[in-house]
Amino acid sequence: MLWSIRASEPDPVIIERRSFERRVKPIIRFILGLAAAIGIFSLSSHADAAAHCMARVIANVGAEEAPEQVKSKSVGTFGPVTQIKVDKTTGRMVYCGEKTYCYWSNAFEIITPCRIKRDEEMSDGRYFSYSTR
């Protein structure tokens, strides 16, 4: 008996391979796209981290903890601001910088984007405390 294969009937192995490729290719593309997006966003967030919460010095001001440590207007910028404290009785704000003192906010103007979040752990009897990013 002779077997004959009609030209209109595709090979079952080829059909299975095409079906597999149709199911797997979108998943692979999604994973590669997600990895690329994560890489791009992580690079951009690290590159811009130092630029957030910068303040312009608009007047000479002494540090809250050590008044003899004066931040001069000639310095130009201060920051990044890492913490903002608000006096509960007067409402005056204090800006604290990374690895430096805290200064009264009336001498500064925030010049770059800044996210502020209430920090319950750092708040004490005198101040409401907010962390920044």
d(CA 85, CA 101) in angstroms, rounded, equals 12
Size of the chain, expressed as the number of residues it contains: 133
d(CA 26, CA 57) in angstroms, rounded, equals 53
In this model, does residue 1 exceed pLDDT 60? no
- Encode pLDDT of 39-62 as tens digits: 665 544 444 445 788 888 888 888
User: Which pLDDT does position 114 carry in this prediction?
Assistant: 87
- Encode pLDDT of 55-91 as tens digits: 888 888 888 888 888 888 787 888 888 888 888 888 8
Q: Which residues pair with 82 in a beta bridge?
A: none
In this model, does residue 4 exceed pLDDT 70? no
Q: Which residues pair with 130 in a beta bridge?
A: 84, 118
Helix (H) or strand (E) holding 41: helix 12-48
Instruction: Tell me the two tokens of residue 32.
Output: 């590669």
- Rounded to the nearest integer, the mean pLDDT of the chain is 76
